[in-house]
A and B are shown apart, each in its own frame.
Chain A
Amino acid sequence: MLNYWANYFTRNGIGVGMFLLAAVLLWMVFMIILPQLYMVDFSLRANVPPPKWGGEEHVYTLEHYKYLLYGSSKSAEQFNTIDLSVFGRTILAAVFVTIIDLCLCYPVAYYLAHVARGGWARLMIMSLIIPFWINEILRAFSFKVLFGTSGLINNALMAVGLIDQPYDFVRENVALYSGLSYAYILLMIFPIYNAIESLDKNQIEAARDMGSPWWRIHWRIVLPHAKPGICSGSTMVFMLSAGALAAPQVLGGPSSLWFTQIIYKAFNNSANWARGSAYALVLLLACIIFVLLMMRIFKVKLGEIAR
């Protein structure tokens, strides 16, 4: 360890070495650790207006966590069905988006890694990346245009004669799921692509040589090999979908509230930072626990994901 640091300083010089070290430490402390700790602190205190922060009334309490469960800090008679159901639905919807992305990306990643050749593969990757230069809000609104009752898709479907009434994609959340799936598709494709690309083609051919139909080749050879990539892609898509704000705000149907929207409201409209941070932390913890649980079920180690 000592050796490592000695080496580090001789390699970078004392000045640059110190600077890099300080920069990384400052970054970690001020940008990552402190703000989160601040949030934890907030979530555990009473909700008082900013001038009284740190004052006598700013006492420690669990009322905001209780509020998520019971809808009231006093009684424990009725569950807070509104917030809890939104919370549950958000997690479910994020799982759903993850599954959609997985189903879309696995074949594409396999195609890119093992079927497409040189220039064609590069072209496909480029055409996947470039749409992501468009920012999130623009993308969300363009999807709204696409899926709106007088949008492109409805017009096209009606022109062909498949439907005669415009279909409300937004109300049925089709627009939201499409928007979210599209937004995180790259985060799913690339880890899977990386994993599949490292698979020796001969293994696929060996399986085929032994009479295996294509689905068994995928089930027994390609999928197990791609598992770490699938896991890391799914983790990212799931976390980001559950925490998305712009897409649900713009594309969500009137009946569907995303949990992040409740959090946003708590921070912004009701100026209840304490409840907002409590809710946000619960969401974060729930996501982490969910991901760890999934990794347990699918027998993936944390180290494999980070490859």
Chain B
Amino acid sequence: MSADVTLDDVWIRFGDFVAAREANIHIEDGEFFSFLGPSGCGKTTLLRAISGFLTPSQGRVLIGGKDMAGIGPNRRPTALIFQNLALFPLMSVWENIAFALEVKGMSKLERRKRADELLDLIALPGQGDKRVSELSGGQKQRVAIARALAAEPDVLLLDEPLSALDLKLRQHMRTELRAIQQRVGITFVYITHDQGEALTMSDNVAVMREGLIEQVADGSTIYDSPETAFVASFVGENNVFQGKVNRLDQSAAVVETPYGEFCARPIQRNNQDQLRVGDDAMVFVRPEAIENAQSDSANRISGEVLQTEFEGNLWQLHVQLPNGGPRITRSSINDGRATKHQVGDRIELGFSETSAIALPTGQLAAE
């Protein structure tokens, strides 16, 4: 069984402090959905409202179409995986996994059998009799997943479950989590401050800032067409130029900046913060969209090479624009054909009209 989740105008206040506002989200049945945002933006708070540990100050949480008001966490069809996992250290691995079954009153023999099945699912066969403390970080992680799955939830809630792991393991667990989700077929609601995790695993991502959901879309839309300055600067690297809108039509905006006039694709967001002629605007260009200036480049910039970085598959070039302008980053694939640049070289760069976007000026993500 699996269920959809709806947040209907959910607000959560702690005294005067608003931890989450106007949350309107629909998560489809069987979807892998992520909340992405910097630490402290209210992700855990929203997840706790879904799991029932916290009652929204306003608004409704619906799971499987049913209003969850007044239903405690022990009676919701959700299972939560905590940021610190919260495994029971005094129980063996299999007892941990079978705890939900123990609660349901299943016999010990059956519990053990089911726990062993789940241990197979998480690729830890025969490790049921170990103590939790004998497991490695990645193994604990998987036991926490198995423990939650044992409860047969309709919705699995995961609070930054990979944040304690090292990079290699984290990347491995991403694939693993996605595979488990597809195998069990239930709704996953995943929280992370790591955009890589959100983009690689999710069907849809909600990007949050200071309690507000700024955009909900699939990963490639979030990356290619961010709707706010915050989303554009938080998800992936972006170069940003401040300016004013000179001309505007459906497909192109011309933004006047101190470094030249840039032509970019305007992103119009439904019913709010529409870009208008004369408004302050920001032009965002991804580092990988910047290339050497061509004769037909729509937008051109020139500057001085500050630093070059070799990252194996990529070359990163940091370029300082003149007159105290911004530093921009360009990255190009290391295919052996890239021209080598020296620090101090003057360099002419360009980017196409379609690879740049124009957005109303807004707050950027902190570095």
Contacts and interface: CB of A to CB of B under 8 A. Distances in A.
B82 A206 contact: yes
Say whether chain A's binding surface is mostly helix, strand, loop, or mixed. helix
B72, B79, B86 — most chain A CB neighbours (10 Å): B86
A211 B90 contact: no
Given A205-B73, A225-B90, A212 B84 contact: no
A202 B53 CA distance: 11
Contact of A210 (B84, B90, B91, B103): B103
A212 B74 contact: yes
B75 to A, nearest CB: 7
A207 interface: yes
A209 interface: yes
Contacts of A205: 53, 73, 80, 82, 86
Contact of B51 (A209, A213, A225): A209
Given A205-B53, A205-B73, A206-B80, A211 B151 contact: yes
A296 interface: no
Interface in A193-214: 200, 202-203, 205-213
Contacts of A220: 88, 91, 99, 102
A209 B74 CA distance: 5
B53 A212 contact: no
Nearest to A227: B90
B86 A211 contact: no
Interface residues of B, number: 24
B288 to A, nearest CB: 40
Interface string B77-89: 0111011101010
Interface in A206-248: 206-213, 216, 220-221, 224-225
A228 to B, nearest CB: 11
Contacts of A213: 74, 103
B146 to A, nearest CB: 12
B104 interface: yes
B100 interface: yes
A200 B86 contact: yes
B151 A200 contact: no
A159 B79 CA distance: 55
B103 A212 contact: yes
A202 B51 CA distance: 13
Nearest to B79: A209
A202 B90 contact: no
Contacts of B82: 202, 205-206
Contact of B78 (A207, A209, A216, A221): A209
Contact of A203 (B73, B79, B86, B151): B86
A221 B79 contact: no
Interface residues of A, number: 17
A211 B74 contact: yes
A211 B51 CA distance: 12
B227 to A, nearest CB: 34
Contacts of B88: 203, 206-207, 220-221
B86 A212 contact: no
Given A209-B73, A211-B75, A216 B86 contact: no
B90 A224 contact: yes
A225 B89 CA distance: 9
Contacts of A206: 80, 82, 86, 88, 147
Interface string A121-137: 00000000000000000
A202 B84 contact: yes
Contacts of A224: 90
Contacts of B79: 209-210
B99 A212 contact: yes
B73, B74, B80 — most chain A CB neighbours (10 Å): B74
B100 A210 contact: yes
A209 B82 CA distance: 11
Nearest to B78: A209
B104 A211 contact: yes
Contacts of B99: 207, 210, 212, 220
B153 to A, nearest CB: 9
A202 B100 CA distance: 16
Interface string B96-139: 00011011100000000000000000000000000000000000
Interface string B55-80: 00000000000000000111100111
Interface of B: 51, 53, 72-75, 78-80, 82-84, 86, 88, 90-91, 99-100, 102-104, 147-148, 151
Smallest CB-CB A-B distances: 6 pairs = A202-B86, A210-B100, A206-B86, A202-B82, A211-B74, A211-B103
Interface of A: 200, 202-203, 205-213, 216, 220-221, 224-225
7 contacts: A200-B84, A209-B51, A209-B80, A212-B99, A216-B103, A220-B102, A225-B90
Given A209-B53, A209-B73, A211-B104, 11 more contacts: A202-B86, A203-B88, A206-B80, A208-B72, A208-B74, A209-B78, A210-B103, A210-B148, A211-B100, A212-B103, A220-B99
